[in-house]
Amino acid sequence: MKGVWLVFKKEILEFTKDRKTMFFTLAVPIILYPLLFGMIGKMGQREDQQARSSQTRIALIDPSNVIESLIQARTNDFTLVPAPEDDEKARQAIKDDQLEMLVTLGASAAQDMAEQKTVAVDVLYNRVEKTGRVAMKRLEDALRELNNATVQDRLQKLGASSQLAAPTSIQSRQVGGEELLLAKLLGTMLPYMLMLMLFVGSMQLGIYVTAGERERGTLITLLATGLPRHEIIWGKLLYVFFMGIVNSVINIGAMTFSMGTLFGGREVSDGYAAVAAEEAAQLSGIAAVVDPTVITLTLLLMIPLGLLFSNLIVFLGVQAKNTQEAGTSMMPVVLLVLFLGVFSMAPGIEKMGILPYIPIVNVSLVIRKLFAQQASVMEYLTAFCMTVGLAVLLTYISTKFLNRESAIFKST
């Protein structure tokens, strides 16, 4: 097997000589993701700050003055502006960012309130914009305050207990806690990223050492060394596999660190965003949340999966007459990997009984269940053994095929 390591070493040396390729393969992800997520984080924080610090411009139609005094009292949250002439102009004013909200109450609202009827409050706002969501949350808080005060006043007049309006009180206890919620979220996203990084990260390098070597005319020189054909193929396969693993680990590590930095540094004071910010901030503690055993088992699954992808890349690359043909022939595989990755993120797939026996998909399913602490030993072994078996079978087929003279000597 000395020839395998010689070919592997040759490819590594060629890779290290090309500093531009090294930079884009290894350094760019480490630089790009922090810059990208940092920019997104800064823009998000600035938008949050602007939405929190500015008053909500509210047009109020309240003929019987049921909530007008309440809105006027909350000077830090609201500023009253003249109401548009009709609903269509109000919609346009909200779209043009001249108004955040139009609130309308009926003419009989005060009478309905006195008769202890439910008062309908019609609200027109833009849920897409952050200012619109802030406006809605502020209005909900104001109306909740009014509702509580009104209910307590009614109970007091009736001489009833203040607890009459709350016959039950939920005291919740969580089984998994927020750590399990974070781990399950990570387990949903990770299979997609792993499959995409494993394949795409090694595809270009695989094309370079197969079809690219034929184009450069160095394949004949390599064959002239007298090394067995299968050892040459295995050496290239080992190189593509190794670089795919390295590339995916660097990309996922940089992305995880950047996401943790992005969400961990966010400051949120608005109630409507507090829950989301609290969950997002926990991404900064992924390393402390995830069980090392889960990480180890996931990495073990990456080995046969990466070997399977590497076989496909080498097989298609050696078959191609040139790099352009190799890239074209691999596009359907890229689309398939993308499809399987997105499919693995779909909710509820872990309940489909057939998926543990479908290649590649079962790897995604097991990783997802590992992080959710729901995986079984049988499912893991099935996915692992099936992927190993497919990788070994494809290695055998690739070696037999590539030993043919017609597979190596192709006219360009």
Residue 394 lies in a domain: yes
Residues 268 and 285 in one domain: yes
Beta bridge partners of 80: 58
The pLDDT value given to residue 281: 44
Residues 6+ apart with CB under 8 A from 136: 101, 123, 125, 127, 272
The whole-number average pLDDT for the span 188-200 is 80
pLDDT, average across residues 355-384: 84
Question: Residue 29's closest CA among 200, 174, 152, 169?
Answer: 200
Q: Which tokens is 62 given?
A: 């309240």
The reply to whether 87 and 191 lie within a common domain is no
Amino acid (one-letter) located at 88:
E
Tell me the C-alpha distance between 128 and 276, whole Å: 16
Task: Quick: pLDDT tens for 209-244.
Answer: 888 888 887 777 777 777 887 888 888 889 998 988
Return the axis-axis angle of helices 229-264 and 271-281, rounded to nearest 10°: 150
Share in percent of the chain as helix, strand, coil (round to 5): 75, 5, 20
Residue-level pLDDT at 102: 93
| DSSP, residue by residue, 150-208 | HHHHHHHHHT--GGGG-S-------SSHHHHHHHHHHHHHHHHHHHHHHHHHHHHHHHH
- Residue 3: the pLDDT is 80
Q: What was the pLDDT predicted at 274?
A: 45
Q: So what's the pLDDT on residue 333?
A: 85
204 and 58 together in one domain: no
Pairwise CA distance, residues 334 & 314, whole Å: 14
Q: In terms of residue numbers, what domain contains 77?
A: 54-161
Give per-residue pLDDT as tens, 110-164: 998 888 889 999 999 998 888 888 999 999 999 998 998 898 888 888 888 888 8
AA letter at 386? M
Residue 59 has pLDDT above 70, yes or no: yes
Residue 391 DSSP SS3: helix
Instruction: Confirm whether 237 is domain-assigned.
Output: yes
- Per DSSP, the three-state class of 241 is helix
Q: Is the pLDDT of residue 410 over 80?
A: no
| pLDDT tens digits along 257-298 | 666 555 554 444 444 444 444 444 444 445 445 567 877 888
Asked if 198 and 131 sit in the same domain, the reply is no
**Position 20 in a domain:** yes
- Residue 18: per-residue pLDDT: 77
Q: pLDDT band for position 182 (50/70/90)?
A: low
Which of 161, 187, 202 is the last residue in one of the domains? Answer: 161
* Res. 58: pLDDT tops 90: yes
If asked whether residues 29 and 142 sit together in one domain, one would say no
CA–CA distances in Å: residue 135 to residues 56, 81, 127, 132: 6, 14, 9, 5
CATH of the domain at 128: 3.40.1710.10
pLDDT per residue as tens digits for the range 237-247: 899 989 888 88
Residue 124 has what pLDDT? Answer: 93
For the chain, the domain total comes to 2
Q: Is residue 166 part of a domain?
A: no
CA–CA gap between residue 371 and residue 373 (Å, rounded): 5
Assess whether 253 and 330 both reside in one domain. yes
| Six token digits for residue 174 | 């969580």
113 and 145 belong to one structural domain: yes
Average pLDDT over residues 68-84: 90
**pLDDT higher than 60, residue 98:** yes
- Tokens at residue 349, please? 């797939």
Q: How far apart are the first and last CA of the chain?
A: 31
Q: Is residue 171 part of a domain?
A: no
- 308-327 tens-digit pLDDT: 888 888 888 887 888 888 88
Does residue 386 carry a pLDDT above 70? Answer: yes
Q: Report pLDDT digits (tens) over 20-36.
A: 777 877 787 788 777 87
pLDDT value of position 105: 92
How high is the pLDDT of residue 283?
45
Mind giving me the DSSP string for 324-355? HHHHHHHHHHHHHHHHHHHHHTSTTGGG-TTG
Kindly state whether residues 215 and 253 are assigned to the same domain.
yes
Within this chain, do residues 404 and 320 fall inside the same structural domain, yes or no? yes
- Same-domain status, 228 and 330: yes
Q: What percent of the chain has pLDDT over 90?
A: 11
